[in-house]
Amino acid sequence: MLKSIFIVTIVLLMSACGGGGGDSSPASTPTNTTQTFSLAKLQSTTLGAVYSTQLSGSDSDGTNYTGSISLANRAQEMLNGVLVTPRDLLLNLSGGGTSTVVTATSYVDTSNNIISLVIQTTGVVCTPASPNNIPSTVKIGDFGILSTLVCDDNTTQESNWRIEDAGNGNIFATTNATAKDQFNTITSVAEVSYTLDGNGNIIAFKTVVTINASNFTLTYSSI
């Protein structure tokens, strides 16, 4: 079960900007809605670490989990004639006597478009129906729809994004994804959270995934 859930969310985690309305302390001061926020650190293609954190969480069955996530960029390379930056993801979570590790690599071009996504854990390869991305600068209230990701296991991922007020000068960068099988049936819905401060630093992370068939939900966040 855990491995299937991680595969659902891997696209969001690998994308240039994940997000979702994560938990935060009560907002004592609303964030300025006219302020421009940079996503440069989240979308960075600079060689080396992008983000890493320890995780804790629980599922709808009452099982508790611990784990970690890390994102890191490798040196640029050519992929099918396109200059890309490979971004590696390592995600692990343990709980209830089970442990799951998932690895994947996204390939992002110089315009920050995802060209390809390879999930080493399953061997599945996904590509966007058309090039697009989340803007590098945003304001609260901005939103958009991302190109559908088509995978070679006959599944698809339909995603959208929005920017919300997290209070005290911070924002939530929100991406939601709907996974569908080869019959166009929704199999799961996922939301991944990055909370950013006014300087674009990542200060929190959260993921919520629901598997439709079993109504099973898993939530995990940074600690």
Quick one: what percent of the chain has pLDDT higher than 70? 89
* pLDDT band per the 50, 70, 90 thresholds, residue 21: very low
Residue 16 has pLDDT above 50, yes or no: no
Q: Contact 116/130 with Cβ under 8 angstroms?
A: no
Which residues form the domain of 21? 2-222
Rounded Cα–Cα distance for residues 136 and 187 (Å): 31
What's the whole-model pTM score? 0.88
> Which pLDDT score, from 0 to 100, does residue 37 have?
96
| CATH number of the domain encompassing residue 186 | 2.40.128
Quote the number of domains for the chain: 1
Range of weakest confidence among 9-13, 15-19, 97-101, 120-124 = 15-19
Nearest Cα residue to 177 out of 155, 195, 196: 155
Interval 30-58 mean pLDDT: 92
Average pLDDT, the chain: 88
Cβ-proximal residues to 134 (8 Å cutoff; 6+ apart), any chain: 15, 16, 17, 39, 43, 144, 146, 161, 173, 175
Residue 136 has pLDDT above 80, yes or no: yes
* Bridge partners for 38 per DSSP: 137
Burial 47-70 (b: 16+ CB within 10 A, else e): eeebbeeebebebeeeeebebebe
> Which pLDDT score, from 0 to 100, does residue 181 have?
92
* pLDDT band per the 50, 70, 90 thresholds, residue 214: confident
> Which pLDDT score, from 0 to 100, does residue 9 have?
73
Q: Considering Cα of 128, then 202, then 141, then 9, what sign does the dihedral take?
A: positive
Rounded Cα–Cα distance for residues 87 and 36 (Å): 26
Rounded Cα–Cα distance for residues 217 and 56 (Å): 14
Interval 97-119 mean pLDDT: 90
**Residue 89 exposed, middle or buried by CB count within 10 Å (0-12, 13-18, 19+):** buried
> Which pLDDT score, from 0 to 100, does residue 22 have?
45
